[in-house]
Amino acid sequence: MESLRLQFPALQQAGLIYLDNAATTQKPHDVIEAMSQFYLRDNANVHRGAHRLSARATRAFEGARATLAQFINAPAQHEVIFTRGTTEAMNLLASSLATMQLHPGDHVLVDQWAHHASIVPWQQACHRHGATLHAIPMTAAGRLDFDAFRALLRQHPKVVVLTGISNALGCRVELEPFIAAAKAVGATVIIDGAQMVAHSHIDVQALGCDFFAFSGHKMYGPTGIGALWGKTELLEAMPPYQFGGEMIASVSFEHSSFNQLPFKFEAGTPAIAEAIGLGAAAQWLMRQDRHSVAAHEQQLLQYAQQQLRQLDGITLYSAFADNVGSLAFNVDGEHHQDIGVWLDQAGIAVRCGHHCCQPLMQHLGVKGTCRLSVAAYNTHAEIDAVIAAISDYLEFIDDDA
């Protein structure tokens, strides 16, 4: 653990316990160095350049795409589209795919704990095309309701959007039966994998989905970069999302034709350094013992759940033994932001709010929650520090009362 933590410069700050990883992870030296080397040695625009800097930049950029294809076991490199992250990937699909698939009277399903980036683009697409958006409900126990999902499938939805791991709760979904059931009624299935990529081995072919979206900054990579994987036949049939340089084959004032995949969906100068950094992050993750890391993270989360349950006045939300990454809780009668400020004064970084999941918060009957989220570099001692700080807060409010 010590050698692992030393790979992350930000963690060397004295007095910092970083447990806000579901919002963004810290970056290892490998990622920072890959981006720095691009700017120090190879800074040039990619593709079509006649000079050596452009050739080196292009090799590194397309090498990152190849790495990501390997990382998620994509059948073909051209199926990996660089985006600014999961949010842009969802907007791309809701703009482009929706024009092909949605018509008046059609239906789209999105799970109840979905991030706003999954809900709002498809909500707006439904408004544009006269379709209806439905929420896949949760059970009373706090998991996604498979029986209710199968009932919704009787409406033969055109699109189903599933969140692999809830960013707000840490709940995971056994995606395979959901995907298989949706495909059986002819739906196109999109997976929000933003919270999956840092914690789970991803195999898009084994999943059987049609699209998979993820963000770099959730997997030890840079902000402002991510990727959308999609099946070739669907990507080729979809119209372009944005127009401009790189995505064209030919242009005249009378007519334009568009480039082949993946460039058809990558208008303009891309985030080259960020893409290279994302490739480095994927390589870093693939060098780790993913099984051991996942086991360590789950132990931390289970330990945090156990310790918080021993405190009076703590409410946990959908806290299951198989949760991944995140734990949501509140102190009874206290505003979640007050808890966040108190923890920050103890040097502990967590996130407090609605976590871009307002429909979920409405379902839970709260304005927001506190969320601690773990990564490979977190320790049991850091969880102990959180428990101690919350215990101090409980004593403080008890004395104040």
Catalytically annotated residues: 356
Q: Of 176, 178, 177, 162, which Cα lies nearest the Cα of 115?
A: 162
Cβ–Cβ under 8 Å, residues 291 and 297:
no
Q: Of 282, 374, 352, which Cα lies nearest the Cα of 21?
A: 374
Q: Strand 132-136 and strand 256-258: pairing?
A: unpaired
Instruction: Tell me which H or E stretch contains 337.
Output: helix 336-345
Sort 395 into a burial class: Cβ within 10 Å, 0-12 / 13-18 / 19+. exposed
* Torsion-angle region of 73 (φ positive above 0: left; ψ -120 to 50: alpha; else: beta): left
Q: Of 334, 320, 337, 332, which Cα lies nearest the Cα of 371?
A: 337
Measure the CA–CA gap between 328 and 22, rounded to whole angstroms.
11
Residue 42, classed as helix, strand or coil, is helix
Q: Of 327, 343, 355, which Cα lies nearest the Cα of 387?
A: 343
Measure the CA–CA gap between 205 and 93, rounded to whole angstroms.
19
Measure the CA–CA gap between 306 and 316, rounded to whole angstroms.
10
Burial 51-90 (b: 16+ CB within 10 A, else e): eeebebbbebbbebbebbbebbebeeebbbbbbbbbbbbb
